[in-house]
Amino acid sequence: MKLRAVEARVLSVAPWLLALSVVGHLMLVKFQVKMTMVDLAVYREGSPHLWTGDLYEYRFGAATDIFPLPFTYPPFAAAIFTPMSWIPWEAARWVWQLACLACLYYIVRTSLKLLRLEDPRRVMFWTALMLWIEPVRTTLNYGQINLVLCAILIGTLASARNWVSGAGVGFTAGIKLTPAISGLYFLIQRRWMAAVWSFVAFVAVYGVGWALSPSQSNKFWFELLGDASRVGPVGSAINQSMRGALSRTVGYDVKTGPLYLIGVLVAAALTWYAVSKTKDVLALIVSVQMLGLLVSPISWSHHWVWMVPALLWLTYEGGHLLCKITAGLWVLLTGGYLVSFLLNAQPNIWDFPRPWYYAALGWGYPAAGMLTLVAIGLAARRKRDELLPRDEEAADSEPSPVAG
């Protein structure tokens, strides 16, 4: 009862808390020098090169002299971003930030709706808090696309319409390949038509990109795809994939060798453990996305915006003690800006050798991701065990069928 009273009191000021958070963020957009939105600049300045035929030769050098940034997405993404180059940079910054804030609100709202906790004040409260965790902050600071993709995916995956769910996955995978892992969600749920629709949507998006520029489409899909070094330094602390953590541990890029394959098998086994005994939609979505983040060659810290719905599920739905521990770990890691600390401790982004304690801390997000999968599995089994006695009791109370 006391906890409910405290929650009610906190939620009563949620609108004010959200207003303060948004105003604080917008002040940073206006005055904070570190909000370079360098990735948005790459999207905006690189996309017109689709039409000049040198999209993948383009490099953005301003503020990135150590590693001039290439355009790393398919041609279809460049076509979508081209209109951003038609407006002034200052206008593009504000449009993108407001869109990302709306997406964050939608992600929180949809997650709580799936948890049957869609109180507007609760949505405001969590949006205000999530605005200041590291994956969200780095997404906003870099002007990244992660919140937009996460919002599209969580909204469409939760839809009961197969064509909507499939189109969301196919469309986002055509912009940035990492959402393609979401197709596994359909296979787990045996939604075969949704899987078909995702393939159809992806082929359509690929077809649009190919029609716009056959040569650059072929170059991306058949030459550049899979070259993680082109995207950035695999061993840098900002890469929180399993491959990144393993590489920092051993001191060199493990690539797709035995260590990486063992890591993939571990992540796959934990995902199977998480999804095999639950029909909880949000838990399934989170589990599949955790797998994608773990096994991807590159999972920058800002890719981990999926810990927003993960944290909400662990807080409200996970009844097992490990769920509470894992939720606390996520708050510690992302609220304490672990990756930012590790980046400041690096001599540069390319040096893999680290003191052992930095290498251990570099497992932060992957370790929390794996714990999330275990916690989901344990909570599902606990819920199943709690329901079994009731089911058996109900079965005993039913009259036995009469033979003959």
User: Do the Cβ atoms of 100 and 127 come closer than 8 Å?
Assistant: no
Q: Are residues 152 and 239 in the same domain?
A: no
Q: Are residues 25 and 146 in the same domain?
A: yes
| Of the residues 159, 189, 210, the one at which a domain ends | 159
Q: What are phi and psi of 300, to 5 degrees?
A: -60, 160
Q: Are residues 233 and 315 in the same domain?
A: yes
| Of the residues 102, 133, 159, the one at which a domain ends | 159
Average confidence (pLDDT) over 205-211: 94
Indicate if the pLDDT at residue 50 is higher than 70. Answer: yes
Q: What pLDDT, on a 0 to 100 scale, did the predictor assign at position 99?
A: 97
Q: Are residues 142 and 243 in the same domain?
A: no
Per-residue pLDDT of 312-361, as tens digits, reads: 999 998 778 999 999 999 999 999 999 999 998 888 777 776 788 999 99
Q: Are residues 109 and 242 in the same domain?
A: no
Q: Output the 3-class SS for 144-164.
A: CCHHHHHHHHHHHHCCCCHHH
Q: Are residues 155 and 235 in the same domain?
A: no
User: Do the Cβ atoms of 309 and 107 come closer than 8 Å?
Assistant: yes
Is residue 394 in a domain? Answer: no
Is residue 329 in a domain? Answer: yes
Q: Output the 3-class SS for 292-355.
A: HHHHCCCCEHHHHHHHHHHHHHHHHCCCCHHHHHHHHHHHHHHHCCHHHHHHHHCCCCCCCCCC
Q: What pLDDT, on a 0 to 100 scale, did the predictor assign at position 78?
A: 95
Average confidence (pLDDT) over 180-208: 95
Domain span including residue 342: 228-385
User: Do the Cβ atoms of 202 and 170 come closer than 8 Å?
Assistant: yes
Q: Are residues 117 and 257 in the same domain?
A: no
Ranges 11-15, 222-226, 251-255: which has the least confidence: 222-226
pTM, to two decimals? 0.92
The rounded distance, in Å, linking the Cα atoms of 145 and 174 is: 13
Query: What angle separates helix 338-345 from helix 134-142, to the nearest 10 degrees?
Result: 60
Highest mean pLDDT of the ranges 8-17, 242-251, 304-313, 380-389:
304-313
Q: Are residues 249 and 122 in the same domain?
A: no
Q: What pLDDT, on a 0 to 100 scale, did the predictor assign at position 64?
A: 52
The rounded distance, in Å, linking the Cα atoms of 101 and 140 is: 9
Per-residue pLDDT of 87-103, as tens digits, reads: 999 999 999 999 999 99
Q: Are residues 380 and 236 in the same domain?
A: yes
Start-to-end Cα distance in the chain: 55
Is residue 395 in a domain? Answer: no
Is residue 287 in a domain? Answer: yes
Q: How many domains does one find in the chain? A: 2
Is residue 177 in a domain? Answer: no
Is residue 10 in a domain? Answer: no
Q: Per-residue confidence at 232, pLDDT binned at 50, 70, 90?
A: confident
Q: Are residues 120 and 252 in the same domain?
A: no
Is residue 188 in a domain? Answer: no
Q: What pLDDT, on a 0 to 100 scale, did the predictor assign at position 179?
A: 93
Q: Are residues 31 and 116 in the same domain?
A: yes
Q: What pLDDT, on a 0 to 100 scale, did the predictor assign at position 401?
A: 38
Indicate if the pLDDT at residue 214 is higher than 90. Answer: yes
Indicate if the pLDDT at residue 402 is higher than 80. Answer: no
Is residue 28 in a domain? Answer: yes
Using DSSP bridges, classify how beta strands 59-60 and 69-70 pair: parallel, antiparallel or unpaired.
Answer: antiparallel
Per-residue pLDDT of 388-400, as tens digits, reads: 655 544 444 444 4
Q: What pLDDT, on a 0 to 100 scale, did the predictor assign at position 403?
A: 36
| 128-146: burial string, b at 16+ Cβ within 10 Å, e else | bbbbebbbbbbbbbbbbbb
- The two tokens of residue 396 are 């005993």
Q: What pLDDT, on a 0 to 100 scale, did the predictor assign at position 65?
A: 54
Torsional sign, CA 55, 71, 178, 95:
negative
Q: Are residues 255 and 363 in the same domain?
A: yes
